[in-house]
């Protein structure tokens, strides 16, 4: 398939929130318990056909969440068409860090890009209970003119929907 559009998409957020797992679930439809922390950046690509017969290729950049790679991010963010900001629904300390990641990204990317906020690991909520006010990320997304979804890379819940809807947002923004 020859793509009508090619978009660079960055997936950012704190370490161990499931960024790599989300990307692999979307691109390869698989989940593994044996992921290692992303060192710097990794990337995968997926070409998809949307309604209306538009073919879109996503170059998805998986940006390592460790603070020690912060100095590298400027290089990874350049030319980005959209950003997915991920936090872990089962670890309360990852939700407030979304704001720091967004500030960091916007200090590098000075133009407006579509943003999607994902609360990942929804499958763990039955085990750990609710550790955050789940209305807070919704309010944050509205404030940032974004949208919010809860996903599970493990079960696949909402992963395909998140990437598909976000790709449509990037098409609108870049047409």
Whether 69 has a pLDDT exceeding 60, the answer reads: no
Distance CA 57, CA 55 (A): 7
Banded model confidence at residue 1, pLDDT cuts 50, 70, 90: confident
- Residue 72: the pLDDT is 61
Distance CA 119, CA 23 (A): 14
In this predicted model, what pLDDT tens digit does every residue of 118-129 receive, in sequence order? Answer: 999 999 999 998
Whether 97 has a pLDDT exceeding 60, the answer reads: yes
22 forms bridges with which residues in the sheet? none
Whether 92 has a pLDDT exceeding 70, the answer reads: yes
In this predicted model, what pLDDT tens digit does every residue of 6-61 receive, in sequence order? Answer: 999 999 999 899 999 999 999 999 998 776 666 556 789 999 998 878 899 999 99
Is 90 within 8 Å of 119 (Cβ atoms)? no
Distance (Å) of CA 57 to CA 8, 27, 81, 154: 9, 11, 12, 24
Distance CA 2, CA 157 (A): 29
Look at residue 121 and give its three-state secondary structure. coil
Domains of the chain (ranges; CATH) run: 5-174 (3.40.50.300)
């Amino acid at each position: 398939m020859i793509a009508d559009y090619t978009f660079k998409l960055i997936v950012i957020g704190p370490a161990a929130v499931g960024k790599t797992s989300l990307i692999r679930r979307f691109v390869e439809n698989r989940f593994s318990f044996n992921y290692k922390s992303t060192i710097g950046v990794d990337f995968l690509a997926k070409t998809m056909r949307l309604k209306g017969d538009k073919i879109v290729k996503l170059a998805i950049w998986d940006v390592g969440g460790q603070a020690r790679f912060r100095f590298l991010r400027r290089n990874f963010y350049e030319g980005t068409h959209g950003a997915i900001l991920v936090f872990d629904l089962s670890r309360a300390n990852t939700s407030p860090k979304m704001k720091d990641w967004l500030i960091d990204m916007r200090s590098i990317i000075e133009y407006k890009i579509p943003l999607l906020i994902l609360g990942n690991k929804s499958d763990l909520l039955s085990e750990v209970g609710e550790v955050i006010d789940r209305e807070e990320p919704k309010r944050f997304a509205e404030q940032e003119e974004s949208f919010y979804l809860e996903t599970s890379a493990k079960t696949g819940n909402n992963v395909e929907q998140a990437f598909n809807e976000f790709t449509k947002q990037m098409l609108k923004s870049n047409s």
